[in-house]
Structure 1
């Protein structure tokens, strides 16, 4: 779940997540506290990298210091936990690291559960002091410290040992230094599947780890109509929202689990990290997906899912021709579509251009965008509007309404009662299925490419139309 969720965020951020495993290894030696350790730079105890230290906080208020000598550039991790072996474990450890003069360098409270953890690289050689304490100096008991070498600190750590689902992060100025995510193993049933709340929780918590807050000023619980800050606050717009789609009374969207960052998430995260280059090939989304990612099988999942497509290049297709529902496909940026029998379930990210759209035998509505679109509605009484651009629209069987716009458009009706409106530009309107002979007669100066008939057979009017525009009108 964590790997796939990171993949989803990588697509929209360009961040390359590298998996590491933070195993602390076996101790090379153990130092045991006898007389109480000093609390500052004067202490009777020292340990080497690779050692464990076992001590106890006693009295009224206690802090113990242990010296460790490091070389310049040496990298270590220090972990502190309650030692349960004697039945008197310290309840809430608090770990500090100080330099040779006693100045505080780093501190840690709850890294995983109530345990503490510090990853440190020494800038200069010398003696450093590990200081063991408790939160607010309020607890006493036994503790254990481990110091290990050469283990790089992960930017994002995952655990499932604690209850609930949450993300913590540590900052330096306005930068996130590291984050820790805990999602309990049985959270939301713990089902290891993409189309469920368990996976969606990973997406949500990684969003926090990368710097996103909730979609509104709420935490822990929220009620739509009371706690939302904007009307369209729901999972349809953001995986960081607390409101599932049908809780939102303003936006018409079906309940569906979220399997990618959504439109608002992508805008927000790209404001932080920039817009990457992703999915630059000729990609198909929906039926017969070709992205090579888990989105290719999204439409065959058992539970209803919602996702947003981020694509930065190529000639791309929304293919939902295998579905017989009445569908509404909107290829404009930041628009949501009603596809595969659901409402508002699939969206297009800002900056993403989809060129082709296909639907099936229902009574469908297809809306193009500012680029050259090839829209094919299949059978049914359909409504197609190309928008700006030089578009090719095919209604197929049924009584269809086809409308171009300001570009040079090619419109193909069928044998039934169709309405074709080219709009502005130099348009070509055909009342029935277009043949290569008809196109050659209509554009006598056009030299058809060798694959023209194959393109027509495949229903790719746009590729043929683009060739005509280039050959006849010198319009690329």
Structure 2
């Protein structure tokens, strides 16, 4: 079908397809998020009962009801248009009509080099779900965030698209705002538990649930966040911050830096020369494969080796703070005497 300048037969990701979703949003009761209804010449306050989004949030990566960035701006940057309702839209519709079930099974969302470069939202309301990025090429640096409302994208695309608001919208003259060139987002009520990373360099952020994260090959940085997580660095020199609650961490092959952070974690460095970060007040970490002469224990939080005592235990050694008696790590399977050369400052 073709009506005037709008060709609604065009594929998802085009301006025409996004316009169709935009108009369906109006039919469902959604309004524009800013002061730019047709015919408005001067900035005016929102009508009674309505609010406008802050200028920095008024963009199509948050809501398909936004005019920003304009199609010319996005097109010049090679940026796609939304092909679904976006996180703010879904949240507003759930407020209007209630939260409906959608994709309630154990779903796997698989990405490749084509469908990764889209603007879309995952809406999933149940099951133990996985996002799989293992099919992506290794020549990018990726930002993969499980937290609701945040994107799966590349570091280059993250806040990589500038947009300006018209003066009639009330924005400061000449002000420029940023949004993502592309990305797949999760709705604010979506819970994705598991993530499989790429063969490239990833920055991965977990959420408050019990995550299973395999960062894959490449030199990755992983933040587990809340929840009792299972974190696997795979091949590459990774940096892993486990976050809160008791986690299971495997650095995999490569020279890794691993911090169990809070609670009692179980840590395996894997192959390579690994560094395990220890600090007071964060729980007792069990390190399963410390190799003297290859691995090292990195002290943070003001700790020094002079403050420590190495206490032999059955089948291992405990690292204890002498003044408080707190055991900050147990090195299972390590019965050789540890000395200052096994420690460094983080």
Band the TM-score falls in, shorter-chain normalisation: 0.5 to 0.7
TM-score in terms of structure 1 length: 0.46
1:310 counterpart residue number:
123
1:213 correspondence with 2:26: no
What do the CA deviations read for 1:112-161 (whole angstroms, capped 9, x no partner)?
xxxxxxxxxxxxxxxxxxxxxxxxxxxxxxxxxxxxxxxxxxxxxxxx7x
Secondary structure of the residue aligned to 1:257 is coil
Q: Distance in 2 between matches of 1:240 and 1:333?
A: 20
Secondary structure of the residue aligned to 1:364 is strand
**Residues 132 and 197 of structure 2 are in contact (CA less than 8 Å); yes or no, is this contact kept in structure 1?**
yes
1:243 to 55, 63, 68: 68
1:379 correspondence with 2:217: yes
1:201 counterpart residue number:
19
Q: Give the aligned length.
A: 238
Q: Distance in 2 between matches of 1:190 and 1:415?
A: 50
1:192 correspondence with 2:29: no
1:231–1:222 Cα change, 3 Å: farther
Q: Distance in 2 between matches of 1:236 and 1:254?
A: 15
Structure 1 unaligned spans of 5+ = 1-159, 161-183, 289-298, 434-441, 443-476
Offset of 1:369 from its aligned partner? 0.4
What do the CA deviations read for 1:5-63 (whole angstroms, capped 9, x no partner)?
xxxxxxxxxxxxxxxxxxxxxxxxxxxxxxxxxxxxxxxxxxxxxxxxxxxxxxxxxxx
1:246–1:401 Cα change, 3 Å: farther
Q: Distance in 2 between matches of 1:412 and 1:307?
A: 32
Query: Which structure is larger by alpha-carbon Rg, 1 or 2?
Result: 1
Q: Distance in 2 between matches of 1:387 and 1:248?
A: 35
TM-score in terms of structure 2 length: 0.62
What do the CA deviations read for 1:278-312 (whole angstroms, capped 9, x no partner)?
11111122338xxxxxxxxxx635x9420111111
Secondary structure of the residue aligned to 1:271 is helix
1:399 correspondence with 2:241: no
Q: Distance in 2 between matches of 1:245 and 1:310?
A: 25
Secondary structure of the residue aligned to 1:203 is helix
1:326 to 126, 141, 164: 141
Offset of 1:209 from its aligned partner? 0.4
**More helix as a share of residues:** 1
1:432 correspondence with 2:257: no
Q: Distance in 1 between matches of 2:227 and 2:78?
A: 31
RMSD: 3.2
Secondary structure of the residue aligned to 1:231 is helix
1:248–1:425 Cα change, 3 Å: farther
Within 5 Å, give how 1:91-240 maps onto structure 2: 185-220=3-38, 229-240=54-65
Relative contact order: is structure 1 or structure 2 higher (C-alpha 8 Å, sep ≥ 6)?
A: 2
Structure 2 unaligned spans of 5+ = 45-51, 159-179, 272-287, 289-346
**Residues 8 and 20 of structure 2 are in contact (CA less than 8 Å); yes or no, is this contact kept in structure 1?**
no
2:111 to 287, 306, 309: 287
Q: Distance in 1 between matches of 2:155 and 2:70?
A: 16
Q: Distance in 2 between matches of 1:322 and 1:222?
A: 47
1:265 correspondence with 2:98: no
Tell me which moved more, 384-393 or 419-428. Answer: 419-428
